[in-house]
């Protein structure tokens, strides 16, 4: 799964997946968690655009509980994808800090 598959929803999708990494949540809870965690407010259209893409790619799945507030959770493929993406980001952010002379490692 390449990042291009998610298009302009790549960053919102990653934030949603990070939020779901600690457990299942519904849309509103995801939005609040992302705002607290990253200081980014996902718009309603962006949030559900990203959710529909993640679900279509089987990176997240709905949890059947019969309520209107549909909770979602990460799938196995989603966990692997998130891990790969976060490691990739850590790699280039480390390189960026090193080039700025800010890396202490």
Partner 1 sequence: MKRIAVWLVRLYPSVWRTRYGDEFTDFLEQYHSICLRDVLDIVIGICDAYLYPQRNMVMSEQLARKESTFILIGLCPLISTILFIIGVGIVSIYEVIGLFFVALSIVPSVLLPFILARSAHQRLVIGAVSPLIALVVGFFVLILFNIPLPRGLSGWRVAEMLLGAIGVALILANVKDNGLPRPLSIVGILLGTSWLLHHTFMMLEVGGPSLIPPVQDLPSITLVALNALGATWVLGTFVWLALRKRTTLFRWGA
79 lines the binding site for partner 1 (CB under 8 A): no
Least spacing, CB of residue 104 vs partner 1, in Å:
39
x-or-dash string of contact with partner 1, 28-47, rule CB under 8 A: x--------------xxxxx
Q: Cα separations (Å) of 81 from 21, 30, 105?
A: 12, 19, 26
**Residue 91 in contact with partner 1, rule: CB under 8 A:** no
Q: Are 71 and 10 in contact (CB under 8 A)?
A: no
Closer to partner 1 at the Cβ: 29 or 38? 29
Place of tokens 């976060």: 86
Q: Which residue, 58 or 89, has its beta carbon nearer to partner 1?
A: 58
Q: Which two tokens stand for residue 76?
A: 């196995």
- Is 55 a binder of partner 1 (CB under 8 A)? yes
The pair of three-digit structure tokens given for residue 60, joined into one six-digit string: 């997240």
């Amino acid at each position: 799964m390449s990042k291009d598959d998610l298009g302009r929803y790549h960053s919102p999708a990653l934030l949603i997946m990070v939020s779901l990494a600690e457990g299942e949540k519904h849309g509103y809870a995801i939005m609040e968690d992302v705002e607290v965690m990253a200081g980014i407010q996902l718009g309603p259209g962006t949030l559900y655009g990203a959710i529909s893409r993640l679900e279509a790619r089987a990176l997240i799945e709905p949890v059947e509980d019969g309520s209107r507030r549909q909770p979602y959770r990460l799938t196995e493929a989603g966990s692997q994808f998130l891990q790969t993406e976060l490691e990739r980001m850590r790699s280039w952010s480390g390189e960026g800090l090193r080039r700025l002379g800010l890396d202490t490692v």
